[in-house]
Structure 1
Amino acid sequence: MQQLAYFVAVAEVRHFTHAAELLHVAQPSLSKQIRALEAELGAPLFSRARGNITLTPAGEALLPLAKRILADVDTARLEVQELAGLRRGRVRLGATPSLCAGLLADVLRRFHDAYPGIRLIVEEGGSRDLVRELTRGSLDLALVILPLPGDPPLDTVPILRENLVVASPAGPEGGDRAHRGLLPRRPYLRIEDLRDRPLVMFRSGYDLREATISACRAAGFEPSFAVEGGEMDAVLRFVEAGLGVAVVPSMALAGRPGLRGTPLVMDDSDLDPSRRGRNSGLLRTVALAHRKDVEPTHAARAFQETLQTFLVEAALAGSLPAGVEALVNA
């Protein structure tokens, strides 16, 4: 474990002395451990030509595995501490920006009140990014969008479904300034209505980017971008400023009085309640995911139970955000 930790440190900073300083060890000791690891593996891990430290092909192959092994060891240590009766632990949770800005804060507050000794670490990012980090062992749990890209080794539990809407400036002034004559005046929009409309688009790694582009192509056109590359807050702010419209989950508009959300459908058949269930329009499903090959820690399982209980109670009380439907049962 020590050799792997030394290897990862050097690989990240690309400097033996700096890595030794970060780890608070003597540089000769670090170098000796790296050479021992290379001897055991039978291949050099670093190229040291002319003082430039780069990874060899063997080092490139080992780096993601070493990070995952170290993350699993850290998780195992915390799990044993919990079993030993120590009132502490950790939950590393990944979530999309709309969930972080929406109901997640209330869930985290409830969990913290029930388990004040458990440290909460939240990573915000696009669903594709979170799937990658979860697979690497950098997260314990992640709230991701189904279906998952590729076939990652993850177990998923669908927890909620939410409508996708077209976000545009609220009020006549903002709407007229940005979209005069661009969007039809009806209580919903078809994908076709976005043809030749300026879109504010998320950066790569967001499932919403891929979903929007795929839906437009399915309708027979390529979307036009006014600006692209932003995170959720930036995208919503750009829409407020009148740069264009954006396809976002309905939950993202909570607490955004400067924006309005218009339900989005592929075509008019999507409005048939008998075909779409209680909600109508384009939907996305959010699931709680964890790795198949690693059992969730006690703290992670406690968070899952807290999240599911919160959703059940919120659904019964009718307090879920507009356009959101819980998929968990009491």
Structure 2
Amino acid sequence: MELRQLAYFLAVVDAGSFTKAADRVRVAQPGVSAQIRRLEREFGQPLLDRSGRSVRLTEAGTAVVPYARAALAAVDAARQAVDELTGLLRGRVALGMITSCGPLGLPGILAEFHRRYPAVEVTLTEDGSDELTLAVRAGTLDAAIIGLPSTAPPGLATQLVTDEPLVGVVAADHPLAGRDLLALSELRASPLISLPEGTGIRSRLEDACAAAGFAPSIAFEASDPFLLAELAARGLGLAVLPASVVTPPPHGVRPIAIVEPALRGQLALAWRASGPTNPAAAAFLTHAREALAGRPGSTG
């Protein structure tokens, strides 16, 4: 039995599919499947039920999960003890980020961390907030910049980095372009342009619309907020975006404040509530929290 087999097994369990697990552990799907089959042969029992649309645990797999997690945690603790004994900070930090967090200055934060700790390898993964949250909770990522949904993600600690209004963005010749305020209920009749499902802003929009008694009509979606603003400028609908994306307004668009209720978008640095599992991740988290703390609207 190999540790990587246990790690792949838990990745599939947490992701619910071999494809997503392979992406998280950065191994081709056939390699993940092969290692798990070897693990199952060693146990003499299937650990995963592959018969449905999603992968589910068998009874034997359910029994194995807590021991697999404990085994990997013990190895991480042993590595940490050795690193602390030698006083050498080394290892690997896995960081995630959403597409639209470029203005936070993450490249500079990473560069400064590398200058301080050149023996630490840092990897960066880009994904939606929902997927990043799952990866941090599962331990395949040490920390991530995510868009916060309406309710705090369970199992994670967060440090708020940005907090700003969400606005409606329309073309300059749109019928609503002369308005300064737009009630949320008025979005019921508008084709909307939005970030994809799984993002914090989309979650907040859908939750607010549901509370108002309707489902938003999404005409276009994309992960790049600046592309969404361009789609709105082309008259394809009303885009719901953070105010900073259209401050100052690009040519051809008109931002309108959304009220009753006002919506806000928040970005946060997120990590497991139980804390980092290795010294390198702990050092990076301290470094990132200090670097991001000085941003307007950020809180611990």
- TM-score normalised per structure 2: 0.70
Q: Aligned residue for 1:207?
A: 200
Deviation at 1:74, TM superposition (A): 6.9
Q: Aligned residue for 2:22?
A: none
Q: Distance in 1 between matches of 2:106 and 2:241?
A: 17
C-alpha distance after superposition, 1:73-123 (max 9, x if no partner): 675466356423334222222233222454333333333333333222222
Q: Aligned residue for 1:224?
A: 217
Relative to structure 2, which stretch is displaced further, 153-162 or 252-261?
Answer: 252-261
Percent of paired sites with the same residue: 28
Contact map agreement 1:166 1:245 (CA 8 A) in 2: yes
Q: Aligned residue for 1:182?
A: 176
What secondary structure, in the 3-state scheme, does the structure 2 residue paired with 1:195 have?
helix
What secondary structure, in the 3-state scheme, does the structure 2 residue paired with 1:135 have?
helix
C-alpha spacing 1:263/1:67, structure 2 compared with 1 (3 Å): farther
C-alpha spacing 1:326/1:182, structure 2 compared with 1 (3 Å): same
C-alpha distance after superposition, 1:156-184 (max 9, x if no partner): 33344222223445xxxxx33xx2x1344
Q: Distance in 1 between matches of 2:50 and 2:131?
A: 32
Matched, 1:303 2:284: yes
Deviation at 1:199, TM superposition (A): 0.7
Contact map agreement 2:147 2:200 (CA 8 A) in 1: yes
Contact map agreement 1:94 1:123 (CA 8 A) in 2: yes
Q: Where do residues 1-330 of structure 1 align in structure 2 (5 Å cutoff)?
A: 2=2, 5=5, 8=8, 12=18, 22=31, 34-38=40-44, 43-45=45-47, 57-58=58-59, 61=62, 72=73, 75-76=76-77, 79-80=80-81, 82-83=83-84, 84-100=86-102, 102-146=104-148, 149=151, 152-168=154-170, 175-176=172-173, 179=174, 181-186=175-180, 188-228=181-221, 230-232=222-224, 235-252=228-245, 257=250, 262=255, 264-267=257-260, 281-315=262-296, 325-328=297-300
Q: Aligned residue for 1:321?
A: none
RMSD value over aligned CA atoms? 4.3
What secondary structure, in the 3-state scheme, does the structure 1 residue paired with 2:112 have?
helix
Contact map agreement 2:169 2:240 (CA 8 A) in 1: yes
Deviation at 1:213, TM superposition (A): 2.1
Relative to structure 2, which stretch is displaced further, 215-224 or 72-81?
Answer: 72-81
Q: Distance in 2 between matches of 1:135 and 1:166?
A: 33
Deviation at 1:313, TM superposition (A): 4.2
Contact map agreement 1:264 1:282 (CA 8 A) in 2: no
Contact map agreement 2:5 2:39 (CA 8 A) in 1: no
Amino acid aligned to 1:231: S
C-alpha distance after superposition, 1:285-306 (max 9, x if no partner): 4333322345453333333333
What secondary structure, in the 3-state scheme, does the structure 1 residue paired with 2:144 have?
strand
- How many pairs are equivalent? 280
Amino acid aligned to 1:327: T
- TM-score normalised per structure 1: 0.64
Q: Distance in 2 between matches of 1:296 and 1:7?
A: 15
Deviation at 1:194, TM superposition (A): 2.5
Deviation at 1:139, TM superposition (A): 1.1
C-alpha distance after superposition, 1:232-276 (max 9, x if no partner): 355455335442222122344579945757363323xx7xxxxxx
Q: Distance in 2 between matches of 1:298 and 1:62?
A: 30
Contact map agreement 1:3 1:33 (CA 8 A) in 2: no
Q: Distance in 2 between matches of 1:256 and 1:37?
A: 61
Deviation at 1:206, TM superposition (A): 1.5
What secondary structure, in the 3-state scheme, does the structure 1 residue paired with 2:100 have?
helix
C-alpha spacing 1:263/1:137, structure 2 compared with 1 (3 Å): farther
Contact map agreement 1:3 1:37 (CA 8 A) in 2: no
Deviation at 1:5, TM superposition (A): 0.8
Larger Rg: 1
What secondary structure, in the 3-state scheme, does the structure 1 residue paired with 2:265 have?
strand
C-alpha spacing 1:201/1:128, structure 2 compared with 1 (3 Å): same
Q: Distance in 2 between matches of 1:310 and 1:48?
A: 44
Residue ranges of structure 1 left out of the alignment (5+ in a row):
14-18, 170-174, 271-280, 316-324
